[in-house]
Amino acid sequence: MNNTNIPSILFVCLGNICRSPLAEAALRKVAEDRGLAMRIDSAGTGDWHVGNPPDRRAIAMAARNGIAIDSYRARQLVTDDFNRFHHIFALDHANLDDIRAIAPARSTAQVSLLLDMVPGREGQSVADPYFGDEAGFEVTWRDVMEAAQALAARFAK
Ligand code: 4NP
CA 2 to chain centre: 18
- For the cut 70, the answer to whether the pLDDT of residue 117 exceeds it is yes
How far, in Å, from the CA of 18 to the mean position of ligand 1?
6
2 part of a folded domain: no
From the CA of 95, give the closest atom in ligand 1: 3
pTM, entire model: 0.97
- For the cut 90, the answer to whether the pLDDT of residue 1 exceeds it is no
Burial of 2 (0-12, 13-18, 19+ CB in 10 A): middle
Read off the CATH number of the domain in which 48 is found: 3.40.50.2300
How far, in Å, from the CA of 5 to the mean position of ligand 1?
32
- pLDDT at residue number 133: 93
1 part of a folded domain: no
- For the cut 60, the answer to whether the pLDDT of residue 3 exceeds it is no
136 part of a folded domain: yes
Residues 57-65: what's their mean pLDDT?
A: 98
- pLDDT at residue number 5: 83
The model's pLDDT over 66-85, given as tens digits with 9 standing for 90+, comes to 999 999 999 999 999 999 99
Indicate the pLDDT class of residue 156, thresholds 50, 70 and 90.
Answer: confident
Range of the domain at 126: 8-155
135 part of a folded domain: yes
3 part of a folded domain: no
97-109 core/surface letters (b: 16 or more CB in 10 A; e: else)? ebbeeebeeebeb
35 part of a folded domain: yes
- For the cut 60, the answer to whether the pLDDT of residue 25 exceeds it is yes
* Domain total in the chain: 1
66 part of a folded domain: yes
Exactly one of 92, 98, 128, 143 is catalytic; which is it?
A: 128
Indicate the pLDDT class of residue 2, thresholds 50, 70 and 90.
Answer: low
Enumerate the β-bridge partners of residue 11: 42, 89
The model's pLDDT over 34-47, given as tens digits with 9 standing for 90+, comes to 999 999 999 999 99
Residue 125: how many other CB atoms lie within 10 Å: 18
107 part of a folded domain: yes
Exactly one of 19, 55, 57, 81 is catalytic; which is it?
A: 19
